[in-house]
Structure 1
Amino acid sequence: MVGSSMRKAELPEASIPGVYVSVPELMALEHKAAGLTFLPRRTSRSVLSGRHTSRMRGRGLNFEEIRDYLPGDDIRNLDWKVTLRLGKPHVRTYTEERDRPALFVIDQRMPMFFGSRLALKSVAAAQVAALGAWMVLHAGDRVGAMVFNDHEIRHIRPHRSRSRVEALCRAVADMNRALAAGSPVHAEYSQLDRALERALQAAHHDHFVCIVSDFAGMSERTDQLLRELRVHNDLVAVLVFDPLARSAVGDGQLVVTEGTLQVEVNLNERQVREPLESFFAGRLQHVAAMLRRSDVPLLAIDSGEPVIEQIRRLLGRRVPLVK
């Protein structure tokens, strides 16, 4: 499935399930984000658990004061130097940093306009970004974005408000609904690096940066930019992939189109099926390996499954979710 060949002007206000998204649809994901967080906690399903914990800072702590020890205080906060000097227990108290701007880098290029089951990658990426924005806003932090397609990069500066989440959703929906099967594909894929360069300029330090993409065209330059982003920020990569990348392509007839010409592929023929399986699986493994080399925590999202269910599994949840 490559989606619809309708132009943006012909699209109705409502989304076409699996092919296009709308602002109301993305805004309605707010209640789905209840209980989900990117912040570190002890659940093994959190993106920050296990081997990722040491790589992600989460929010920091600001020193507040040294005061007398009170029953119930954590003894790990005892200040032994002051305690010994004054002859009675004293503790150091801290307050949690409440402001950690989030910047979502959201890919809506033509390579994302592909899907073999349930939804196109562009739709899955839009849903991930909207859910993430709501999660950040619910945590009390500012939400911003760098939304890009093959021709444009739109910067939405971080702000703590529902209107800023709506601006993010609108930018994503606009670019998503401009995609069409007849649009040209830019073979050099350089827009990904341009978007990361803009993100590096915007996120100087202490940001949470979440890149939602299929990472088509990832290069040594991409790797370098990811490493630079990680120096002073928390970084998570959400790799959106089609189910063809990790399972057999099946059998029967497959019709492939780029908007004008159509080709019917016979998947019953081994010499046709095996190269396709190798191509999709090999590309996914290559991108995942490069992201691991960049030391970036990775969330893999299958566009052939409901996004919210995958996010719940990957991040865990703190309270019962609203149905």
Structure 2
Amino acid sequence: MVSSALDHPGIRLSAKELLALRETPTPPNRHRPATRRPGSVPARLPGAGMDLREVRAFVEGDDTRRIDPAATARTGIPHVRSFHEDRDDTVLLVADFRPAMLWGTGSALRSVRAARCLAGHGWNAAARGASVAGITITASGVSVLPARTGVRQMSAIAQMFAHEHDKALDRPGASPSLTAALVRAAQLAPVGAQVWLATDPQGIAPEDEPALRRLARRRRVTLLCPLDPVEIAPPSVALPIRSGSSNRLARLHPFDPAPLTSRMRALNVMLEVSTDDAS
């Protein structure tokens, strides 16, 4: 349960605000194109493909025809196989809610602004019929929502983001490595998928780079960095810093994206910074 002191807009993330980012839908067509390329003939979208995405525990609503007999027999718990759909439009939203993201000097925490940015990209993808998946990483670990289509899926991602953000606020704990989330992302996102990873400028540690490089292989990966106002226009005077019995004066400098851009380019990752505190 989140403390009442943290239950304020900009600090606590709500599913309602992420749902409100959905644009007014256009009237649905009776037919949707089989592909999104010019000249496609209106037809039903293809269903599940043949490429295995994962074997996971059965949950209510899963297709019983997808039950995996071997995994079910081995574990004693019903398991199902899920497959990559026969489409080339899958979007994965990865939200970093580790302790370093849970701060801000403006109208919202960096983590809240990151979730808003991701939700905007997710709604755009859902509007064009893409499959959307979600991953969060907190001090408690990694949570995953496999790819599906439609408004219901984006609503589920909004609920997951809000729930995991509450957990992050309630139990900040130690900051785990991002590698586990990147490895899970590579398992979840098919070849050709678009991956949006929202974290802070220092969120990618050197030990995370091999996993990020593998994720970016044959996928379009963009690193989203919502900058805090103090990183954009820091105070001109030196600020006192205290750590235990030690005191220092330090002068802050505006964030320079060039080193991070170069570093990400070497990993085949694009960098996108957000400077709007209201985002």
TM-score by length of 2: 0.68
Q: Secondary structure at the match of 1:137?
A: helix
Q: Give the corresponding residue for 1:120.
A: 109
Structure 1 residue 228: Cα displacement = 1.8
Q: Give the corresponding residue for 1:295.
A: 268
Q: Secondary structure at the match of 1:179?
A: helix
Structure 1 residue 127: Cα displacement = 0.5
Q: Is the 8 A contact 1:121 1:242 kept in 2?
A: yes
Q: Secondary structure at the match of 1:172?
A: helix
Q: How does 1:304-323 map to 2 (within 5 A)?
A: 305-307=277-279
Q: How does 1:172-211 map to 2 (within 5 A)?
A: 172-180=161-169, 183-186=172-175, 189-190=176-177, 192-211=178-197
Structure 1 residue 155: Cα displacement = 1.0
Q: How does 1:120-199 map to 2 (within 5 A)?
A: 120-180=109-169, 183-186=172-175, 189-190=176-177, 192-199=178-185
CA distance in 2, matches of 1:249, 1:19: 23
Which residue among 8, 19, 23 is the counterpart of 1:16? 8
Structure number having the greater helix percentage:
1
* CA distances 1:85-108 after superposition (whole Å, capped 9, x unpaired): xxxxxxxxxxxx964111111111
CA distance in 2, matches of 1:299, 1:104: 14
Identical amino acids, percent of aligned pairs: 20
Give the CA RMSD over aligned residues.
3.5
Cα distance change on mapping 1:215 and 1:170 into 2, 3 Å: farther
Matched, 1:102 2:91: yes
CA distance in 2, matches of 1:236, 1:169: 20
Aligned partner letter, 2:169: A
Q: Secondary structure at the match of 2:12?
A: coil
Aligned partner letter, 1:126: A
Structure 1 residue 18: Cα displacement = 1.5
> Where does structure 1 lack aligned partners over 5 or more consecutive residues?
1-6, 35-58, 66-96, 266-270, 308-323
* CA distances 1:147-204 after superposition (whole Å, capped 9, x unpaired): 1112221111111121111111111111222333883342xx41x1110010011123
Cα distance change on mapping 1:255 and 1:23 into 2, 3 Å: farther
* CA distances 1:210-253 after superposition (whole Å, capped 9, x unpaired): 11111534233422222222222122111122122232235598
Q: Secondary structure at the match of 2:140?
A: coil
Q: Secondary structure at the match of 2:135?
A: strand
CA distance in 2, matches of 1:182, 1:64: 50
Q: Give the corresponding residue for 2:206.
A: 220
- Larger RCO of the pair (alpha carbons < 8 Å, separation 6+): 1
* CA distances 1:63-89 after superposition (whole Å, capped 9, x unpaired): 979xxxxxxxxxxxxxxxxxxxxxxxx
Aligned partner letter, 2:17: E
CA distance in 2, matches of 1:133, 1:217: 21
Q: Secondary structure at the match of 1:106?
A: strand
Aligned partner letter, 1:101: T
Cα distance change on mapping 1:23 and 1:182 into 2, 3 Å: closer
Q: Give the corresponding residue for 1:85.
A: none
Aligned partner letter, 1:17: P
CA distance in 2, matches of 1:297, 1:30: 25
Aligned residue pairs, count = 226
Q: Secondary structure at the match of 2:184?
A: helix
CA distance in 2, matches of 1:168, 1:158: 10
Matched, 1:272 2:249: yes
TM-score by length of 1: 0.60
Q: Secondary structure at the match of 1:218?
A: coil
Q: Is the 8 A contact 1:99 1:142 kept in 2?
A: no
